[in-house]
């Protein structure tokens, strides 16, 4: 198995080779490794280990697949003083992430008509798909931008999108410190000006389903998660605003030759403490805060849909948590017995703090933080609780990971009415593009059950609940 | 089974690839697999005679399929239109097709065929009457295209054609498997071709990008090419939206088989 050495449950060492500062660590079961295309992503795990200042391991999650420079499902912690920061370690969709809200009614109480009406209403008020911005809303002004990149999700709450208590239920309280609008180009601001509250295209979605099975009763109960209740899950990021911040930085870094000496141009990176490194972090943080606002406003729209169709008060749609899975953050971790400040790059990986972590609000400090793992639109998603495993810098997986290329999916579902097909499986789907549905069919993804099994075996996070989708809005 | 001795309605044409829409206005539409770009019409003739000269007839001087854009809708013949067609404007090497058409026509005349003396009008027939001009004109939007292999086609009637022989050309790009994103192998006889063909590959996925395509200031280094491709994506995204986040700085241009340059282009979606 590609020179992998088993060092623990669902944990494999990728031995250090020439040029690597640290070894790699792959979290996966033997069965998952057998079924995945592993060579190219593993090469990326090794490449990441060449970056200046990397500490511990170049980590790969069980949903790993080939990405841009870093593998998707990759984690790397860089020494905050001596290390580098790499846009490829964050990705184009800065602070792409997931949020989960719990609705205090049972799926059993929803008639078929209500389900259809609810999905239709969500489709009407949550703009989705290529090029869909907000219509009828005032575009963001420079003044709006100035405040929202500094305040994060609080800005949307102050504009009437949500409630103050939402903020405690968002990673980093919905605000990455250090954002500076001056580090963001006019192009980026222009692209993002009407995109708050929109999901975009690709694998982004709004999903409504039922909490199907509880694994950890105490934790679920503490979080107000009960079998049979309805949930709403939102997956989106920083839209054109974040893409542009990433692109502008990559162009600058490549033009300055920062990729020279690296095994892959896409790993291009700048020292964290250099002016270029600091500028990227300030722009990235601005984009991350844009993304928190985006998900905050999408949740507001979903709350509105529940209110309109199910007569549920908006504040009763309770945000459980919001996680980032494309981000670089300054955190303190114990490395070789010493507490060290590091810049953790999570690219397709989720923070999974265990009990006691400083940043968490009291409830989650007691239980560990919620970790959200969307699977696919047919089978399941998962709600986990973080265990704060130091080997992965308190990180876990971010999804099921693709098993099939988009081209394969399109070919295999050609000529089939996908909406009808999904309905026979008990899932109502709406999307602006049939192509997106074909690319996102359940068999395009690994079985999320197997992925979370690996995460649990490796003691990164534990299962709290299995979630089953009923209604899906795709981009 | 092909009967070599009989006469057939034959012509030479290039196979055409384009991101054809599924919902054209009404007409007796040609199946997409039968859409082609005619270069020389032979009429009813002996198949044996044609077979005898296939080997020595002039072949295209180019190794790769050429790219172009369907830039207008045509109704042919103009006075009493029976077919609706899209006009093809070449991008890149403008005269290659015209020169080849002339060369082939000259050869066929020497073989005793009567060739049409009117100016060559590169087009692809999409449908036959009845159709409404206004609906087609209103519907039209530019589409990227490329033509690949040269074929000897037999016309079977009812807009059905059969290829009896072909001279293959390398497509300018091929979409390849990629787990999370979309990816292409881009081919070119020069690094500039790589840049043009990469723009075309993106336009095939999202025809709205054609508006931002630059076929004049073509770059040769991968860094410059990626930067321009992303400028194109950004412009299109700002104006009308694209399914792409960005073209990645992945890979390098390399020379394959001593004939073509090649680049593996990965597009984050």
Q: Residue B4's pLDDT is what?
A: 54
Residues of B in contact with A38 (CB under 8 A): none
CB pairs under 8 A between A and B: 81
Residues of B in contact with A259 (CB under 8 A): 249
How close does chain B come to A69, measured CA to CA in Å? 8
How close does chain A come to B59, measured CA to CA in Å? 33
Q: Residue B1's pLDDT is what?
A: 46
Q: What is the DSSP string of B177-208?
A: --SSSEEEEEEESSHHHHHHHHHHHHHHH-GG
Residue of A nearest to B242 (CA): A130
pLDDT tens, A238-264?
999 999 999 999 999 999 999 999 999
The whole-number average pLDDT for the span B48-56 is 95
Which residues are registered as beta bridge partners of A203? none
pLDDT tens, A196-255?
999 998 899 999 999 999 999 999 999 999 999 999 999 999 999 999 999 999 999 999
pLDDT tens, A283-313?
999 999 999 999 999 999 999 999 999 999 9
Q: Residue B82's pLDDT is what?
A: 94
Residues of B in contact with A240 (CB under 8 A): 237-238
CB contact under 8 A, B179 and A254: no
Q: Residue A1's pLDDT is what?
A: 57
Q: Residue A229's pLDDT is what?
A: 98
CB contact under 8 A, A191 and B238: yes
Instruction: Return the residue in A243, A347, A402 with the most chain B beta carbons within 10 A, the one to mutate for interface testing.
Output: A243
CB contact under 8 A, B238 and A406: no
How close does chain B come to A274, measured CA to CA in Å? 23
How far is B74 from B90, CA to CA, in rounded Å? Answer: 16
A421 is catalytic: no
**Minimum-distance CB partner of B248 among A65, A68, A251:** A68
Q: How far apart are the first and last CA of chain A?
A: 37
Which residues are registered as beta bridge partners of B29? B127
- Within an 8 Å CB–CB cutoff, is residue B255 touching chain A? no
Q: Quickly state the pLDDT bin for A79 (edges 50, 70, 90).
A: very high
pLDDT tens, A410-429?
889 988 899 999 999 999 99
* Contacting residues for A252 by C-beta, under 8 A, at least 6 apart: A276
pTM: 0.90
How far is B25 from A422, CA to CA, in rounded Å? Answer: 30
Tokens representing A411 are 């070919």
Predicted confidence (pLDDT) at residue A465 exceeds the cutoff of 50: yes
- Within an 8 Å CB–CB cutoff, is residue B266 touching chain A? yes
Print the SS3 string covering A310-367. HCCCHHHCEEEEEEECEEEEEEEEEECCEEEEEEEEEECCEECCCCCCCCCCHHHHHH
Q: Quickly state the pLDDT bin for B242 (edges 50, 70, 90).
A: confident
B residues 118-177 lying closer than 8 A (beta carbon) to A: 175-177
**Minimum-distance CB partner of A243 among B182, B241, B246:** B246
Q: Count CB-CB contacts under 10 A for residue B139.
A: 13
CB contact under 8 A, A255 and B246: no
CB contact under 8 A, B179 and A268: no
How close does chain B come to A206, measured CA to CA in Å? 18
Q: Residue B164's pLDDT is what?
A: 96
> Measuring CA to CA, which residue among A382, A400, A387, A393 is closest to residue A343?
A393
* Contacting residues for B95 by C-beta, under 8 A, at least 6 apart: none
Mean pLDDT of chain B: 92
Residue of A nearest to B243 (CA): A130
Instruction: Return the residue in B185, B233, B245, B268 with the most chain A beta carbons within 10 A, the one to mutate for interface testing.
Output: B245
Q: How far apart are the first and last CA of chain B?
A: 46
How far is A472 from A378, CA to CA, in rounded Å? Answer: 9
Q: What is the DSSP string of A91-134?
A: -SSTT-EEEEEEEEEEGGG--HHHHHHHHHHHHHHS--STT---
- Within an 8 Å CB–CB cutoff, is residue B211 touching chain A? no
Predicted confidence (pLDDT) at residue A136 exceeds the cutoff of 80: no
**Minimum-distance CB partner of A405 among B178, B240, B249:** B178
pLDDT tens, B148-180?
899 999 999 888 899 999 999 999 999 998 877
């Amino acid at each position: 198995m590609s020179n992998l050495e088993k060092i623990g449950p669902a944990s494999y060492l990728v031995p250090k080779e020439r040029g690597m500062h640290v070894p790699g660590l792959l979290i996966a079961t033997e069965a998952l490794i057998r079924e995945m295309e592993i060579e190219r992503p593993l090469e990326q795990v090794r490449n990441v280990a060449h970056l200046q200042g990397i500490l511990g391991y170049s980590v790969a999650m069980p949903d790993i697949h080939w990405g841009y420079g870093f593998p998707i499902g990759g984690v790397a912690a860089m020494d905050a003083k001596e290390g580098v920061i790499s846009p490829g370690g964050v990705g184009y969709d800065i602070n792409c992430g997931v949020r989960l809200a719990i609705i205090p009614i049972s799926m059993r109480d929803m008639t078929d008509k209500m389900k259809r009406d609810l999905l239709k209403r969500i489709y009407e008020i949550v703009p989705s798909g290529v090029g869909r911005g907000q219509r009828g809303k005032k575009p963001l002004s420079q003044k709006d931008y100035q405040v929202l990149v500094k305040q994060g999700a609080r800005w949307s709450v102050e504009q009437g999108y949500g409630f103050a208590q939402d903020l405690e239920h968002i990673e980093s309280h919905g605000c990455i410190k250090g954002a500076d609008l001056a580090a963001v180009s006019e192009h980026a601001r222009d692209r993002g000006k009407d995109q708050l509250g929109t999901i975009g295209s690709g694998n982004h979605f709004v999903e409504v389903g039922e909490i199907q099975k509880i694994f950890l009763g105490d934790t679920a109960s503490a979080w107000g998660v009960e079998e049979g209740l309805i949930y709403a899950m939102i997956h989106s990021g920083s839209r054109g605003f974040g893409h542009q911040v990433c692109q502008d930085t990559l162009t600058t870094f490549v033009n300055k030759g920062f990729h020279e000496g690296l095994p892959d141009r896409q790993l291009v990176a700048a020292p964290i403490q250099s002016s270029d490194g600091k500028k990227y972090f300030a722009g990235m943080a601005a984009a991350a805060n844009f993304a928190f606002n985006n998900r905050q406003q999408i949740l507001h729209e979903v709350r509105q849909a529940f209110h309109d169709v199910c007569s549920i008060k908006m504040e009763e749609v309770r945000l459980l948590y919001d996680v980032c899975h494309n981000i670089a953050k300054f955190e303190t971790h114990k490395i070789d017995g010493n507490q060290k400040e590091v810049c953790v790059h999570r690219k397709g990986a989720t923070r999974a703090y265990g009990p006691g972590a400083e940043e968490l609000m009291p409830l989650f400090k007691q239980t560990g933080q919620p970790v959200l793992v969307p699977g696919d639109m047919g089978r399941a998603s998962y709600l986990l609780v973080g265990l704060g495993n130091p080997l992965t810098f308190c990180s876990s997986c971010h999804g099921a990971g693709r098993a099939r290329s988009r081209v394969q999916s399109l070919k295999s579902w050609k000529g089939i009415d996908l909406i009808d097909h999904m309905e026979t499986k008990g899932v109502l789907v709406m999307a602006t593009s049939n192509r997106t549905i074909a690319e996102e069919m359940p068999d395009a993804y690994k079985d999320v059950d197997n992925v979370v099994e690996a995460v649990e075996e490796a003691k990164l996070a534990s299962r709290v609940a299995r979630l089953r989708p009923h209604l899906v809005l795709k981009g | 089974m092909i009967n070599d001795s009989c006469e057939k309605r034959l012509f030479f044409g290039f196979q055409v690839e384009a991101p054809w829409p599924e919902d054209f206005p009404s007409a007796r539409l040609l199946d997409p697999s039968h859409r082609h770009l005619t270069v020389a019409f032979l009429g009813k003739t002996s198949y044996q005679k044609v077979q005898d000269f296939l080997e020595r007839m002039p072949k295209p001087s180019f190794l790769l399929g050429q790219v172009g854009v369907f830039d207008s809708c045509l109704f042919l013949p103009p006075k009493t239109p029976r077919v609706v067609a899209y006009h093809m404007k070449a991008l890149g090497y403008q005269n290659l097709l015209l020169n080849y058409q002339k060369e082939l026509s000259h050869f066929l005349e020497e073989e005793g065929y009567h060739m049409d003396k009117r100016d060559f009008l590169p087009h692809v027939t999409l449908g036959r009457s009845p159709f409404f001009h206004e609906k087609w004109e209103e519907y039209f939007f530019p589409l990227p295209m490329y033509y690949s292999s040269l074929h000897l086609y037999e016309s079977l009637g009812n807009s059905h054609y059969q290829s009896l022989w072909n001279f293959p050309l390398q497509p300018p790009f091929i979409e390849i498997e990629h787990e999370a994103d979309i990816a292409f192998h881009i081919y070119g006889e020069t690094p500039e071709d790589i840049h043009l063909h990469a723009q075309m590959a993106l336009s095939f996925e999202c025809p709205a990008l054609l508006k931002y395509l630059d076929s004049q200031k073509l770059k040769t280094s991968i860094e410059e090419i990626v930067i321009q491709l992303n400028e194109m994506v950004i412009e299109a995204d700002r104006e009308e939206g694209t399914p792409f986040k960005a073209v990645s700085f992945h890979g390098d241009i390399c020379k394959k088989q001593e004939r073509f340059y090649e680049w593996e282009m990965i597009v984050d979606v």
